[in-house]
Amino acid sequence: MFTGSFVALITPMYNNGQIDYSSLEALVDFHIRNGSHGIVSVGTTGESATLPFSEHIEVVRRTVEYAQGKIPVIAGSGANSTSEAIFLSEQMSDTGIKGFLSVVPYYNKPQQKGMVAHFKAIADATDIPVLLYNVPSRTVADMLPETVAELATHPKIVGLKDATGDISRLKATQKLVSDDFVFLSGDDLTGCEFLANGGHGVISVTANIVPKQMADMCNAAFAKDFQLAEKIDKQIAGLHTALFVEPNPVLPKWVLHKMGLTNSAFLRLPLVESELASQNHIEQVMRSSGVLS
């Protein structure tokens, strides 16, 4: 179930800051039509940090509704407070999601033992599979392979989104867990290499813009055609970098609006609209990648 290209979906908003559910429905349909293997709803790219619980839960609920069972939806449920992460998980357990994505607690800088206790408490509170999420560039705290291995013994903890961009980290962790433990790349720039080294898929920001290419890359890797996978990846490699010139999801939202897929590129404060130089740069990259004619 947790294999292939999962898009880390943006949360579209109107210029007044309200959630744009009509664009959300259009985006879900866009991904179904273009072969995405799944959706991650209200993760980092979905601005989870600035959505209150009520909106967070409703966006996930609507995303599942719009997907109509055609592709699985994973819900972001992480928080730096264990009790809040458990509350979110409990509130979304009846939405029809297939899994939770739970990030290493940010700001608190927990010890490795603290991470173990945090994630086990979350997993104990749900019957839905939990994917761990390690992104030290945002959380500061880094979940080590030995910690992942300890957590992997919990029956509800089934995989890891690894956004370190370090393939040696993938290899080190693979040696410590069972063969059915799922590894998903959270770093688009190294996603293809991640797949070539035994990864099971990607949770991708780039897939917001080029879902077909990301899905095709994964499909080629699963068919062991790594030459084709690398060829596809090279065609969109510029996007992997350009989309992160400013903090995610500033530029993905601008690009989707430019593509006519959303009504605005509005972001919740403290994020603001991208700089003109960034817009010009990514527009060039989009044209060279064939995204814009």
Report the chain (293 residues): mean pLDDT per 10 consecutive residues.
96 97 98 98 97 98 98 97 97 97 96 98 97 96 98 98 98 97 98 98 98 98 98 96 97 96 97 95 89 74
Computed from CA positions of residues 212, 262, 206, 106, in that sequence, does the dihedral angle turn out positive or negative? negative
**pTM value?**
0.96
CA-to-CA distance for 212 and 185, rounded, in angstroms?
17
- Three-state secondary-structure class, residue 271: coil
Tokens 């350009």, residue located: 242
Give the model's pLDDT for residue 6: 98
Tokens of 240: 């992997």
d(CA 142, CA 270): 25
Q: How far apart are CA 209 and CA 216, in angstroms?
A: 14
Choose among 280, 279, 252: nearest CA to 267.
252
- Whether 185 contacts 162, CB under 8 Å: yes
Placement of tokens 């509005």 in the chain:
266
Helix residue ranges, H only, 181-225: 191-196, 211-222
- Residue 5: strand, helix, or coil: strand
Q: Give the pLDDT score at 291.
A: 78
Of 68, 75, 32, 76, nearest in space to 211 by CA:
32
End-to-end CA distance of the chain: 35
The answer to whether 71 and 38 have CB atoms below 8 angstroms apart is yes
In angstroms and rounded to an integer, the radius of gyration of the C-alpha atoms of the chain is: 18
Q: What is the pLDDT of residue 1?
A: 82
Rounded CA gap, 268 and 45, in Å? 12
Q: Which residues are catalytic?
A: 133, 161
What domains are there in the chain, each with its CATH number?
4-233 (3.20.20.70)
pLDDT of residue 107: 94
203 annotated to a ligand binding site? yes
Q: What's the pLDDT score for residue 42?
A: 98
Please state whether 262 falls in left (phi above 0), alpha (psi between -120 and 50) or beta. beta
67, 100 in Cβ contact below 8 A? no
SS3 46: coil
CA–CA gap between residue 191 and residue 257 (Å, rounded) = 25
Name every residue whose Cβ is closer than 8 Å to that of residue 163 and which is 6 or more positions away in sequence. 133, 134, 135, 136, 137, 185, 186, 187
SS3 category, 134: strand
